[in-house]
Amino acid sequence: MTKKVTIKEIARLANASVSTVSRVINDSGYVSIEKRQKIEAAIKSTGYHPSQIARTLSSSHTQTIAVMLPDITNPYFINLIEQISIHSGAEGYQVILMNTDTAGAHKHGDPVTIETNAFANVLERQVDGLIVLGGEIDQVHVNPEYMSALNSLNDQLPVVVISQKDEQCNCLFVERHIDTGMKMIVQHLLSLGYRHIGFLGGQQGIKIADQRISSFKKLMHLYANTSDEDILANNFYIEDGYTGIEPLLQQADLDAVIAMNDQVAIGAMRRLREIGKSVPQDIAIGSADMFAGGEYTTPAITTVNQHDTSLGQIAVKQLLHLINNEPVESLEPRLPELVMRESCGEHQRFTTKDSLS
């Protein structure tokens, strides 16, 4: 009896990944001419027609991945979804979005219940893998029921999480360089002569917010005086910058504020204009996380580019390695980059006397 050829055997013979072989079989996505010729030669040498191999593939792979997120209106998640879709499509995979609405303006219900139920739905959809963007996994203290459900899902399906690592979770994580980014924006403001710097936005108990605030405090203690009154952690959205900047300035005498992200910075600058304060002449505004559109505000926002595009690319690449039972490479996202614009008054504030030694 002739041995039944699987797509993994074709991949081995052609020295290619399973996803690359799939793209050749289904004529979807880019494959180099050299690699395509090797795959076609391997298919021909086995004596099987490509459609037979495709049917073998379809019995175990759906060429789809799920992306689960808590708030589809959040610019951070929107950017990641875009990159995940681009890189998944290039590999011949379709993306199914699962928005749980457990964060943001449309937040409702119990997040743990909603998100654990979503895990069951992921299995029902028979996707090849899952990418998790935020939600309960972003909590500093993750609910044990949620963690158990996520680990159980990971035992049945490849899962990649874009978040700061949680040691209780068995999934593969893609992490951001949070401390490096915060160091860039704090030191930039200090170099311009600002010494009374505050922090606005984020939410206590969320990993990324707690880590940024912790980094902010450590850096400020090195170079200037700071206190808890210099920090107001309310949330991650435009309205939080708008409603939070005035109370922050009432509780602390500040000459500069670092916003959690560009959305918070935009809201803060709007409210400052309404109360007669000019940015950056009266107070400088910087951001710890760049979103699309910050270059078009007045003034344009000085911010930190966290290179979220690389996060999406790495997450897809790692997930496909897991799906195809290939060795997982150690991949680091690009380091953050300071983007200097107008909102910190670079050319107005800097003096030799006030600069850092």
Q: Which phi and psi angles does 305 have, rounded to 5°?
A: -80, 110
pLDDT score of 244: 98
Query: What's the pLDDT tens digit per position in 202-249?
Result: 999 999 999 999 999 999 998 888 899 999 999 999 999 999 999 999
Residue listed under structure tokens 């602390």: 252
User: To the nearest 10°, the Cα dihedral for 153, 96, 89, 307?
Assistant: -80
pLDDT of residue 1 exceeding 60: no
Which residues in 208-219 are b (16+ Cβ under 10 Å) and which e? bbbbbbebbbeb
Query: What's the pLDDT tens digit per position in 172-207?
Result: 999 999 999 999 999 999 999 999 999 999 999 999
Using CA atoms, how far apart are residues 255 and 196, in angstroms rounded to an integer?
A: 5
Q: Which domains does the chain possess?
A: 7-58 (1.10.260), 64-175+307-336 (3.40.50.2300), 178-302+340-349 (3.40.50.2300)
Query: What's the pLDDT tens digit per position in 56-87?
Result: 444 467 899 999 999 999 999 999 999 999 99
pLDDT score of 303: 97
